[in-house]
Structure 1
C-alpha cells in the first residue's frame, strides 16, 4: 500500500468538540444521540469525554500540589524540644520517678 492510498483521519475542530461535549453534559442527554446528530461515532465522543476527564483530573492534582506547597511554605514551625529535655518543675523527683523528700 502506498502513502497516497492511505486514508487520513478526519480531524474535528476544537469548537465542535466543545459543543458536542457540552451537549452530552445536559440532563437526559444520550452520548449516542448527540454523536449521531453530528454524524460522529459515539465511541469517538466517549474518547473525548475520557480525555477531558483525565485532563481535568491532572489539572486538579497539579493545583492541589501547588496549594499544598504554598500551605507548607506559610506554615509556622513549632519549636522542638530535645527528646531528652524535661519540662521545668518546681518539685524535685528522684530518677526512679518517686518524689524526693526535701528538708525544710
Structure 2
C-alpha cells in the first residue's frame, strides 16, 4: 500500500471537464465518465467522487469489468482534508474488450 500524492491541478481540470462532457446521474453516465477518465489516467476512488461525480466507484468498476474491460486495483492510503487516512482503490485501465 502506498501513500497517494495530491491530484495535480492539470488532472483535476481534465477530470472536471470530463464530468461536464458526460452529464447525468445514471449508472451509464457514471460509467462513461469513469471510462473516459481511465483512458487518460489512473483514478482513485476519491478522485472519482470529487471530480467525476461517481459516488460508488467500486460498483461502476465492477460493471465495466463485466463489460469486458480489464481494470486493475492498487491500494493506496490517502489523507483527507481533515487529516484522516483512508485506504482507497487506485484503478488502472489495462485492456479493453
TM-score for both structures, normalised by structure 2: 0.34
Q: Between Structure 1 and Structure 2, which shows a larger proportion of helix residues?
A: 1
Q: Between Structure 1 and Structure 2, which shows a larger proportion of strand residues?
A: 2
Q: Relative contact order (alpha carbons < 8 A, sep ≥ 6): 1 or 2 greater?
A: 2
